[in-house]
A and B are shown apart, each in its own frame.
Chain A
């Protein structure tokens, strides 16, 4: 079986065109990540290269002093630096010279923005998060009481889950999270991975018909069910390989352009966009979990592509259908991303590939009266889709009369 998987992998995926596409897409993705950094990062926004390097150095210089456990002493020291600068720029009459020796960056306004955006506001968010989480717990408990009084068991259970989830939350340490803020919002590589998977996978079944090998395969002992299984497993390996490559590349590229991946131990809710996340994971754990879910979403979509591949005799139609389907799902996801139509969002397996939408807020799906976290419901739906696609594939795939009747090997 391992040999068959190896041959199937070699047959369909070790092709110059796929390797070239992988290389080109990787470069495009790295370029896009650099573009994200250059346009948005506090280190580079509105700066030239030299200023950017200077701000980065300054940031990491401060980071040595202020990262780690947030203490009153650290807050006091930071404010001791920040407040006089804040006072200087308050009436906008401070000098605008860019070579002021009494400043960190050469300009007092730049100092102000640097300290405010890179240290004061993030540390303030971290410091106040405990109080915010406490308020959420309190509100959830009030909701529980109310919904219990009106016998709404579903809402009562849902609020119990929210209270449990937010209970005891705090961001006790100050860490560099800017890189994660952009990394966790970066979806472009999912699109590239999907395109590459569509390209690689449409030929898995249809190519056997195009080369008229399907008949020959069925006249061999292992050319039936075992070959189909080998095709599915090699496709899964290909998808997992492609996904792992892109997710890893994303992480490395973001770390490289931002200069660090420090902060991976900080909780996910330390990133402002994820203040209401239902997950109590560290950023590092979440990155891993998110990539796993993205890969799972891709596998569900791939099951559909393989089904389409098995239905046609020419690769053109599966390619067009798969590509149109992929764009359709992306459009669908965009349409329902921020809507209240929860199930319309969850039935689309592509939602797993841009799963930040599932983790930014504690959202629950009503599954037979039970509140289920939306990501869990999305996973169940994806598994269901994959099962349906696989079931249809097994039913529609051409079979041998010999193996169908289940004759025994070497009989006779």
Chain B
């Protein structure tokens, strides 16, 4: 299956939320990385039909999704940003409701609900009210509902926002588990969400696609752009004002600075980049700390 975005454009009050966004997605995990307001949610909303684009097309194997209509929706699993679901529903009841909405017929629906509850480790919480769940458990309910119709395309909008590190890791593992044989589009501004699980990362900035490449390629592109410099404590303020610093570590021999920049600072040594450096390089433009 091939998903093609062709010249997607959307403006809000004269300001571009997306500008001629074009790309192609195949099977695999795609991390849509960008700062808040970069256009990630707008892109996803246009993809799933919640928002109408001003221009452009989304094609599935060459067919416009609007022509596929609800048939397209049957192939999509979607987890929106900050879902609260219905607090007075029990977990199992909510998933049964989602089965009814997605046209998952019984008894398959009940079987699917049980399988997914086990898969997301909520088997024991099936009769708990959604209002009584923690944020992480609620997100797991969210991904379970997205998987009910066994979708070809899984769309996750900021799925780990507000989760603690343990839940975030647990959620990442679930995404990996559910990504087999599917196209997963995961929008986030948290680099660690996608660093190890994304086959490709799409960098979205001010509504435009900046780069699209596998993480290692993006990291490669940062060669000789990440530096390490050790300075005495008293020089820290001056460095913070003049350099783009991604990390600070105080050791006995002084303060170790991780610097991002095209130019090598005096006495700095090059170091191996990571995806966070890529993010900061592209999105922290013009900012010093």
Residues in chain A within 8 A of chain B (CB atoms): 3-4, 7, 10-11, 14-15, 210-213, 215-223, 227, 398, 400-403, 405-412
Cα separation A14 to B97 with both chains bound (whole Å):
15
Chain B 225-252 residues near chain A, CB threshold 8 A: none
Q: How far is the CB of A133 from chain B (nearest CB, A)?
A: 57
Other-chain contact of B71, A219, A222, A408 (Cβ < 8 Å): A408
Other-chain contact of A4, B51, B52, B63, B100 (Cβ < 8 Å): B100
Cα separation A398 to B45 with both chains bound (whole Å):
13
A406 CB contacts on chain B under 8 angstroms: 69
Knowing A221-B101, A227-B101, A401-B52, say if A407 contacts B80 (CB, 8 Å).
no
Residues in chain B within 8 A of chain A (CB atoms): 45-46, 48-52, 60-61, 63, 65-76, 78, 80-89, 93, 97-98, 100-103, 145
Q: How far is the CB of B85 from chain A (nearest CB, A)?
A: 6
Do the beta carbons of A221 and B103 come within 8 Å of each other? yes
B80 CB contacts on chain A under 8 angstroms: 212, 215-216
Do the beta carbons of A402 and B72 come within 8 Å of each other? yes
User: Can you identify 18 A-B contacts, CB atoms within 8 angstroms?
Assistant: A10-B93, A211-B84, A213-B85, A216-B145, A219-B49, A220-B102, A221-B70, A221-B101, A222-B100, A401-B52, A402-B68, A402-B70, A403-B49, A403-B69, A407-B69, A408-B69, A409-B71, A412-B60
Do the beta carbons of A407 and B89 come within 8 Å of each other? no
State the 6 A-B residue pairs at the shortest beta-carbon distance, nearest first. Answer: A407-B69, A411-B71, A401-B49, A402-B49, A220-B101, A211-B84
Do the beta carbons of A11 and B86 come within 8 Å of each other? yes
B85 CB contacts on chain A under 8 angstroms: 211, 213
Do the beta carbons of B72 and A213 come within 8 Å of each other? no
Cα separation A410 to B68 with both chains bound (whole Å):
8
Cα separation A218 to B145 with both chains bound (whole Å):
14
Cα separation A132 to B134 with both chains bound (whole Å):
74
Do the beta carbons of B78 and A219 come within 8 Å of each other? yes
Cα separation A409 to B70 with both chains bound (whole Å):
5
Cα separation A10 to B86 with both chains bound (whole Å):
11
Do the beta carbons of A410 and B71 come within 8 Å of each other? yes
Do the beta carbons of B97 and A7 come within 8 Å of each other? yes
B61 CB contacts on chain A under 8 angstroms: 412
Cα separation A405 to B65 with both chains bound (whole Å):
10
A216 CB contacts on chain B under 8 angstroms: 78, 80, 83, 145
Do the beta carbons of B68 and A407 come within 8 Å of each other? yes
Closest to A403 in B: B70
A7 CB contacts on chain B under 8 angstroms: 97, 100
Cα separation A410 to B101 with both chains bound (whole Å):
15
Q: How far is the CB of A9 from chain B (nearest CB, A)?
A: 12
B102 CB contacts on chain A under 8 angstroms: 220-222
Among the interface residues B50, B63, B71, which one has the most CB atoms of the partner chain A within 10 A? B50
Cα separation A409 to B69 with both chains bound (whole Å):
7
Do the beta carbons of B101 and A217 come within 8 Å of each other? yes
